[in-house]
């Protein structure tokens, strides 16, 4: 069953932890296409394999990571496109807030005048 795209809030929660960022960045550094296992990641990080596995589960639930089975091991890769999409979303919201504040209007006026 394909779970609908996760809520932004769930994504932010997934990104609100230093260890999780370390997992993500370690994951993104390697050869993405091949993927990496939780055990392999744990060797490069200061936490246990089980902790990494939990973080990967959170990240996958948030839609920021993808996983597949390869024999007796499970491989993961980072989904940069999802991060990019989330970033764009934030940008638009922030711009809307500033626009409402009337600042953009002032700037436009200044540019015209």
Partner DNA sequence: CGGACGTGCAATGAATTGGTTGCACATCAA
Partner DNA sequence: TTGATGTGCAACCAATTCATTGCACGTCCG
| Interface residue list for a copy of itself (CB under 8 A) | 9, 12-13, 15-18, 21, 28-29, 32-33, 77-98, 100-102
Min dist. Cβ of residue 8 to a copy of itself (A):
8
**16 vs 81, which CB is nearer to DNA?**
16
* DSSP assignment letter at 7: P
**6 vs 54, which CB is nearer to DNA?**
54
* Residue 112 structure tokens: 């015209």
Is the Cβ–Cβ distance between 66 and 60 less than 8 Å? yes
Min dist. Cβ of residue 47 to DNA (A):
4
Min dist. Cβ of residue 90 to DNA (A):
18
CA 67 to CA 80: how far, in whole Å?
14
Is the Cβ–Cβ distance between 113 and 107 less than 8 Å? no
């Amino acid at each position: 069953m394909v779970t609908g795209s996760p809520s932004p809030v769930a994504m932010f929660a997934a990104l609100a932890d230093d260890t999780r960022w370390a997992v993500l960045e370690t994951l993104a550094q390697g050869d993405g296409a091949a993927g990496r296992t939780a055990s392999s990641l744990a060797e490069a990080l200061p936490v246990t394999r089980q902790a990494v596995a939990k973080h990967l589960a959170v990240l996958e639930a948030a839609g920021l990571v993808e996983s597949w089975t390869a024999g007796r091991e499970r491989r993961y890769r980072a989904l940069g496109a999802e991060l990019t999409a989330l970033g764009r979303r934030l940008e638009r919201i922030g711009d809307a807030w500033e626009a409402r504040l009337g600042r953009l209007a002032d700037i436009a006026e200044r540019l015209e005048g």
